[in-house]
Amino acid sequence: MPATEYFPQEPQGPRLVTSFPGPLTTSSLHSLDSIFDTNAAYMICDYESSIGNYIADVDGNVYLDLYAQIASIALGYNNPALVEIARSKEMVDAIVNRPALGNFPSKNYENYLRQGLLSVAPVGLDKIWTCMSGSDANETAFKAAFMYHRKQQRNGDDVIFSDAERESTMLNSAPGSPDLAILSFEKGFHGRLFGSLSTTRSNPIHKLDIPAFKWPKAPFPALKYPLDQHEEFNRTEEDACLLELDKVLEIWHDRVSAAIIEPIQSEGGDNHATPYFFQKVRAITRKHNVLLIVDEVQTGVAATGTFWAHDQWQLTDPPDIVTFSKKFQAAGYYYGNPDLRPSKPFRQFNTWCGDPAKALIARVIAHEVVSKNLVAQARRVGDYMYEKLSCLQSKYPNCMENLRGKHRGTFIAWDSPSVESRNKFLLDMKAVGVNIGGCGARSVRLRPALVFEERHVNVFLYALEEVFSRL
């Protein structure tokens, strides 16, 4: 769908009235910092003035946005379909009478889920648990995995617990608090809460000073790009990682209840693997009776050219759990096996257990993605952008290394020569009116909204070449 149909007033390109960061952004950041941590803040945004694929700051600068709130804006800024639902009586009710869903679900919640989040559920997963964030989604998925395995150890019973279990769990000891583990992969990122941090392996700054569970990790393939030009090397690398995964699951001293993996390791540097690798991961987890959790918090909702990135693995045996957040503006996990739901109340629970307001937003996003065929648009625009970037890589090989994301929609990345050059590049791009993000040690990642089009690509490429030509 052309963005002009959503956003007839969208700018034709960036507009810069000050340098970056502008004086009002600088003073506003300083003021905000007196009451709120702004260490990671880039700019103070004017969201009322942002539109479509363009984000505005308080200085009046307007940037083409290829970062989209860390991959979280699906339909562009101030999308009219979302504005309409935000003004509805349904939304008023959801916000002012926000329910504690675990105890007092609203009469509308089933319809919100069936018409929205469940209407685009991954194949084979017809049940859902909602929560508050991507980290929360992963942590509640871990809880589901642990309770499932203890239920299996009790021959399917999770209703009757022994006195020893009840007493020991209050001391954080076995058998009530068993020694179970979640396996994750090197350079993976799964959140910043306590449990999810123990599976996050992307950057030390996320984990320093925080106590951690002693959980195992397996290697994630370090492939060469383009993938189709290095098939023999990449197959050898993936086989070596699969062998190590099998070994870790065989010898790890605690029972591994689940393995969690991203279809593309996003925060860790946009690291890819082939469908072959993921198919074998599914087979190995099944061999060891380990649940497979696929973390689609960043890759989910169409950006990779399929609604779910793991659709491209062509699995005959689906994941046990798929977590989501970001582009849905909601969070939770999908599952299919009813035994993943605990039998007793309050085991998977908190005050909110999600948010009807966010489920309403997700319903609109799901409808717009499907009805406007935005999956195909992301695939088409991504192919166009990748081809143009490939030409730029040939022209500026010292600026762009390891371009990746071919046939992965707009989920495209490359490496800068160093972390210093990458960080400077991100600032240089803002100086010419493009907001863009980094990941990993020295990677640049593209995360535009799903309404990003070829004409936006051309604006981006013009700015990109302007920056590269100066280096």
Strand order of the β-sheet with 434-435 is: 54-56, 62-65, 434-435
What is the spatial distance between Cα 118 and Cα 330, in angstroms, rounded to a whole number? Answer: 12
**CA 177, chain centre distance (Å):** 30
Active site residue 346: no
Q: Rounded to an integer, what distance in angstroms lies between the CA atom of residue 309 and that of residue 321?
A: 14
Q: Give burial (CB, 10 Å; 0-12/13-18/19+) of 336.
A: middle
Q: Alpha-carbon torsion 261, 262, 265, 267, what sign?
A: negative
Catalytic-role residue among 189, 277, 307, 460? 189
Q: How many CB atoms sit inside 10 A of residue 36's CB?
A: 9
Annotated catalytic residue within 157, 317, 344, 351 = 351
3-class DSSP state of 185: strand
Concerning whether 104 is annotated as a catalytic residue, the answer is: no
Q: CA torsion, points 207, 142, 191, 83, in degrees to nearest 10?
A: -160
Q: Residue 383 burial by CB count (10 A; 0-12/13-18/19+): exposed, middle or buried?
A: middle
Kindly calculate the radius of gyration of the chain based on its CA atoms and give it in whole angstroms: 23
CA-to-CA separations, 125 to 193, 290, 307, 318, 363, in angstroms, rounded = 25, 17, 14, 8, 18
Residue in 187, 326, 327, 430 annotated catalytic: 326
Q: Count of CB atoms within 10 A of residue 41's CB?
A: 15
Per annotation, catalytic residue among 57, 270, 295, 415: 295
Q: Where does residue 224 rank: exposed (0-12), middle (13-18), buried (19+ CB within 10 A)?
A: middle
Q: Is 7 a catalytic residue?
A: no
Is 209 known to be catalytic?
A: no
Q: Which amino acid is at 358?
A: K
Q: Which 3-state string (H, E, C) describes 239-253?
A: HHHHHHHHHHHHHCC
Residue numbers annotated as active site: 189, 295, 326, 351
